[in-house]
Amino acid sequence: MTWQPHITVATLVEDQGRFLFVEEFKAGQHVFNQPAGHLEPNETLAQAALRETLEETAWEVELTGLVGIYLYTAPSNGVTYQRICFAARPVRHRPELSLDSDIVRALWMTREQLLADPTRWRSELVPRCLDDYLAGPLHSLALLRD
């Protein structure tokens, strides 16, 4: 058996102290996550972040920096994920677009609203990325080498 980490991206979108989250239905439960997903073939990390955000929230965003790179092993299945978390600002909402099938809805929440119910986090990376973003520093997109 070959061990292989899964490369994922997440986008932390802020607008006036509120953050864009998705509510997903996973393992029989409604959970909150940043817009996030897997890197696809022939796609840059930035392209993946923009695509996933649009597909899951119907928001076009502009990437403004890198929050961090995270390594996470899911206790539920033992799969290891490498998450590259981007910061972004909202540009345009496209309500005519359909959201990905596993997304219940996109919603704007404050940090306090997210922290109010830890049982609804997709993983502990959700609040960790948010807190890392708020604590700073934000890293330059120039760190990426495609």
Which CATH architecture group holds 6-140? Alpha-Beta Complex (3.90)
User: Residue 43: left (phi > 0), alpha (psi -120 to 50), or beta?
Assistant: beta
- When mean pLDDT is compared across 33-42, 54-63, 74-83, the lowest value belongs to 74-83
Number of C-beta neighbours around residue 21 at 10 A: 27
Q: Do 17 and 97 form a contact (C-beta atoms < 8 A)?
A: no
Secondary structure of residue 110 in the 3-state scheme: coil
- When mean pLDDT is compared across 26-30, 86-90, 137-141, the lowest value belongs to 26-30
Query: Percent of the chain having pLDDT more than 70?
Result: 99
pLDDT at position 77 is 84
pLDDT at position 2 is 76
Q: pLDDT per residue over 115-133, tens digit each?
A: 999 999 999 999 999 999 9
Secondary structure of residue 143 in the 3-state scheme: helix
Angle at Cα 134 formed by Cα 81 and Cα 69, nearest 5°?
A: 25
pLDDT at position 111 is 98
Q: pLDDT per residue over 68-118, tens digit each?
A: 999 999 888 888 999 999 999 999 999 999 999 999 999 999 999 999 999
Joined together, the tokens standing for residue 49 give 């972040």
**Per-residue pLDDT band at 1 (split at 50, 70, 90):** low
Residue type present at position 104: V
Joined together, the tokens standing for residue 15 give 């607008």
- Torsion, Cα of 14, 109, 32, 131 (10° steps): 60
Domain boundaries, the chain: 6-140
Which phi and psi angles does 114 have, rounded to 5°? -65, -45
Q: Residue 28 pLDDT > 90, yes or no? A: no
pLDDT at position 62 is 98
Q: Residue 3 pLDDT > 80, yes or no? A: no
